A and B are shown apart, each in its own frame.
Chain A
């Protein structure tokens, strides 16, 4: 099966920066997704990386290194509403999407 690892929990202060790492071992690679999921709500798409490098979208950026099987999601200028679970998901050679267990980020005032 696929193996996707990310930290269980992270805590940061409002206005700070947090980096959520994701490492993966999958059979082939066809893209990596980051989703945000607030408690009791649907996961919502944040970013997609298929080539190495950094993708920036406002306060959120995602980085990918395919050779290292590694990605991170960078959240800048943290706001209270950023408190949520962040899911890393990797698409394999059969285009099946496998998810990590998610990282719960708590933003404190």
Chain B
């Protein structure tokens, strides 16, 4: 248990569906991250929130829409996805983003399949 939980763990959706991924951290951290992990590829940073403000959008298509209502919760809203978006989506948190030693704690991920 890393202190970061994600739901659902598995999700299958059609290209016309709308779904949301949820992440919650119980570590008192102020920064939260979304990553995409595809088979045999490096983790790709998607979004960073620091003190509830989005500080990084790594050229992510608009069909992925993040939301951070507070420092403990992070959502990723999905709509009109493509089959190539099928991947493991990992959430992480750290004390804060930016300077200093900041180990990131990862959730177990949501395995997303787009049909």
Contacts and interface: CB of A to CB of B under 8 A. Distances in A.
B99 A95 contact: yes
A31 interface: yes
A96 B4 CA distance: 20
Contacts of B2: 42, 44
B99 to A, nearest CB: 6
Please classify how large the interface on chain B is, using the bins under 10, 10 to 19, 20 to 34, 35 or more: 20 to 34
A95 B42 contact: no
Interface residues of A, number: 23
B45 interface: yes
Interface string B57-101: 000000000000000000000000000000000100000011101
Query: At the interface, is chain B mostly helix, strand, loop or mixed?
Result: loop
Contacts of A4: 42
A4 B102 CA distance: 20
A33 B103 contact: yes
A31 B104 CA distance: 13
Nearest to B109: A42
Contacts of A96: 45, 56
A42 B1 CA distance: 9
Contacts of B108: 40-42
Nearest to B102: A95
A4 B43 CA distance: 11
User: Which of A4, A50, A98 is packed against the most chain B CB atoms within 10 Å?
Assistant: A98
Given A42-B2, A48-B103, 10 more contacts: A8-B40, A40-B108, A41-B108, A44-B2, A95-B102, A97-B45, A97-B104, A98-B45, A99-B42, A102-B42
